[in-house]
Copies of this chain bind each other. A is one copy, B any other.
Amino acid sequence: MAKILKDPGVGYKSNRNAQRVIVNGNSNVKHINRPRTIDDLYTYLINIPWLFFLTYVLIGYVLINTLFALIYYFIGPQHFQVSTGNNIEDLTHLFFFSAQTLTTVGYGAIAPSGILGGFVSSFEALLGLTSFSFITGLLYGRFSKPKAKIKFSDHLVVRDFEEHSALMFRVMNKRVNMMIEPELNAVINITEKDENGEFSRKFYELSLQRNKVMYLPTMWTLVHPIDEDSPLFSYTKEELKDLEVEIYILFQYHEEAFNQKLYQLHSYDFSQLKIDYKFGISYEFDEHGFTIVNHDKLNEIEKM
């Protein structure tokens, strides 16, 4: 008999619409009353898409220069050798002066001659260098942050397997690197109406034929045999289709590209289940002896 887990860490509450904390690898959790800190800013700037990041840099650059142009304007354009009599033109030149100071280009065609302008521009240059130090850190942080790029097959399949049947799904590394020491642990959660009409939610470990290998250059098909020890053993294939089931997965492997152990969360529910299907062959060999991994085949399933 399958052993019920005491507390799998994802909660017991039975509410048919709200149990899944992971949907397609993304968190389904919202936080309220969470105090924010400056570290959140770093995490935010590290995780936003590149387009956003570069746009922020550009907007920040324009805003800071506009601000300093205004400050310099109030100090007086004549202190920067740019007094043309035309306010807009003066402001524009002071914007350029600010940009030349912030980036430390400092052509010198526009340069501070008075005390106040000298001070403000000295500190603008400091601000500029410190900001670019910060951007350097962010750029490095963005690039070097290890990201697990494990892709899970869209479907779960149930097919005949050895004496009984088996539940299968497939994972692959979207990078060209091998997965070193990949390991997959999963919990299966079955929600059923009990005799009182209340939903009862039970968690079990999902036993796999093999949940850890040495290394893997290609896809990996995970096999849960539906035998006497499986919590799914008592259901017919027909019943499985309508069963309310979630599978929570923690996948870990050593990623060569970053030389780090990476973790990836995923979840399935049984709306993704295909009965009597099998996965297609995911790799072949070419005439030169190379193993060819076709990334498009991850989701290929065939009716048995």
**Chain A residues packing against B (C-beta within 8 Å):** 6-11, 13, 15, 17-18, 20-21, 27-35, 38-40, 42-43, 50, 57-58, 61, 65, 89, 92-93, 95-96, 99-101, 103-109, 111-113, 115, 118-119, 121-122, 125-126, 128-130, 132-141, 143-147, 149, 174-178, 180-182, 185, 187, 209-210, 213-218, 220, 248, 250, 254, 256-257, 259-260, 262-263, 265, 283, 285-286, 289-296
Which residues of chain B are within 8 angstroms of A108 by Cβ–Cβ distance? Answer: 106-109, 111
A9 touches which of B100, B130, B214, B250 (Cβ 8 Å): B214
Known contacts A137-B140, A137-B143, A107 near B104 by CB under 8 Å = no
B178→A27 contact, CB < 8 A: yes
Distance in Å from the Cβ of A18 to the closest Cβ of chain B? Answer: 3
B257→A259 contact, CB < 8 A: no
A132 touches which of B115, B122, B129 (Cβ 8 Å): B129
Number of copies: 4
Which residues of chain B are within 8 angstroms of A40 by Cβ–Cβ distance? Answer: 175
In the bound complex, CA of A30 to CA of B28 (Å): 36
A100 touches which of B122, B213, B260, B265 (Cβ 8 Å): B122
Please give me the 4 A-B residue pairs with the lowest Cβ-Cβ distance, nearest first: A9-B213, A18-B285, A137-B140, A108-B108
Known contacts A137-B143, A178-B265, A209-B7, A289 near B17 by CB under 8 Å = yes
Chain A contact residues: helix, strand, loop or mixed:
mixed
Which residues of chain B are within 8 angstroms of A248 by Cβ–Cβ distance? Answer: 214-215
A122 touches which of B65, B137, B285 (Cβ 8 Å): B65
A133 touches which of B113, B132, B262 (Cβ 8 Å): B132
A289→B146 contact, CB < 8 A: no
Distance in Å from the Cβ of A269 to the closest Cβ of chain B? Answer: 12
B17→A295 contact, CB < 8 A: no
B115→A28 contact, CB < 8 A: no
Which residues of chain B are within 8 angstroms of A115 by Cβ–Cβ distance? Answer: 89, 92
Which residues of chain B are within 8 angstroms of A254 by Cβ–Cβ distance? Answer: 263
In the bound complex, CA of A13 to CA of B281 (Å): 11
Which residues of chain B are within 8 angstroms of A21 by Cβ–Cβ distance? Answer: 178, 217, 291
> Please, which residue of chain B has its CB at the minimum distance from the CB of A262?
B259
In the bound complex, CA of A180 to CA of B216 (Å): 23
